[in-house]
């Protein structure tokens, strides 16, 4: 029986109010049947003024390591960050991961990643990075396969940043690039890659195949994943706001971390 087919009413859980119950642990009947897929920024880590300033709270690495063991390796991070960035943030822990919004896929921690896209051209990156001249507080982040322009430090410049990005991208060959709006960020990536397609590929690879996924994400780039997760008998949960096609939501990353710690606890896993 897939997770989505379970009678949550009999569990005494209002699934849309997960944060009130800290996502009752009975939502996960057996971690050996689950795959856990987690976005990073804004989902398990609090957003920071700049991408380089994110911090992994005490205990999160241990929680992720335990969940990886309890799921038989079916735990993956799903992020817009490149794999090398993900590995540095969570070092010395290395996990299965999808990086670059689906440009890179690694189904096993030490496996050679599958490259699913080519990086943006250096010339286009230079053009886009020049948008930072609009004023202080605009940060250009080169992700290899994409380039992100953050304006968290100067939100009033958001309209100008978006307009400049649209003008540069309009001059590219038709269908070459895609603009991804996010939380006080605009990201430009090659067309044809996304987290949803990469998750579908991951779910057909060992050790994720034939498991029921639980995906948690927070941003617009996570919405396509919510649209496909049900076909694997899984559940999707957003963070911070309600999104289309979700089964429930958490208020903030701290609540996600608390729930992950609960389902990873020895008492919970012993009961399964």
17 is a catalytic site residue: no
Q: Which residues neighbour 67 within 8 Å (Cβ) at sequence distance 6 or greater?
A: 31, 36, 75, 260, 263, 264
Give phi and psi for 191, each to the nearest 5: -70, 145
What is the per-residue DSSP string for 249-266? Answer: EESSHHHHHHHHHHHHSH
Distance of CA 18 to CAs 8, 30, 211, 259, Å? 12, 18, 22, 10
Q: Which of 39, 41, 197, 222 is catalytic?
A: 39
152 close to 184: Cβ distance less than 8 angstroms: yes
Q: Which residues neighbour 195 within 8 Å (Cβ) at sequence distance 6 or greater?
A: 78, 98, 101, 102, 217, 221, 222, 224, 225
Catalytic residues, by residue number, are 39
């Amino acid at each position: 029986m897939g997770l989505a087919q379970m009678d949550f009413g009999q569990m005494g859980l209002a699934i849309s109010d997960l944060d009130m119950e800290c996502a009752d642990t009975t939502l996960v009947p057996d971690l050996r049947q689950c795959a856990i897929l987690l976005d990073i920024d804004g989902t398990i880590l609090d957003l920071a003024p700049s991408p380089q300033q994110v911090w992994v709270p005490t205990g999160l690495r241990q929680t992720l390591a335990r969940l990886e063991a309890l799921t038989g390796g079916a735990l993956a991070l799903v992020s817009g960050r490149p794999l090398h960035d993900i590995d540095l943030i969570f070092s010395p822990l290395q996990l299965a991961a999808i990086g670059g919004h689906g440009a890179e896929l690694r189904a096993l921690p030490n496996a050679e990643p599958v490259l699913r896209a080519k990086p943006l051209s250096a010339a286009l990156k230079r053009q886009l990075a020049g948008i930072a001249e609009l004023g202080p507080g605009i940060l250009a982040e080169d992700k290899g396969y994409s380039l992100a322009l953050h304006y968290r430090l100067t939100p009033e410049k958001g309209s100008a940043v978006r307009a400049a990005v649209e003008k540069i991208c309009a001059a590219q060959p038709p269908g070459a690039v895609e603009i991804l709006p996010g939380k006080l960020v605009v990201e430009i990536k090659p067309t044809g890659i996304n987290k949803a397609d990469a998750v579908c590929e991951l779910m057909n690879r060992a050790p994720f195949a034939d498991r029921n996924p639980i995906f948690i994400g927070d941003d617009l780039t996570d919405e396509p994943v919510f649209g496909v997760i049900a076909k694997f008998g899984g559940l999707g949960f957003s963070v911070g706001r309600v999104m289309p096609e979700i089964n429930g939501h958490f208020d903030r990353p701290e609540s996600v971390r608390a729930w992950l710690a609960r389902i990873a606890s020895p008492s919970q896993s012993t009961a399964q």
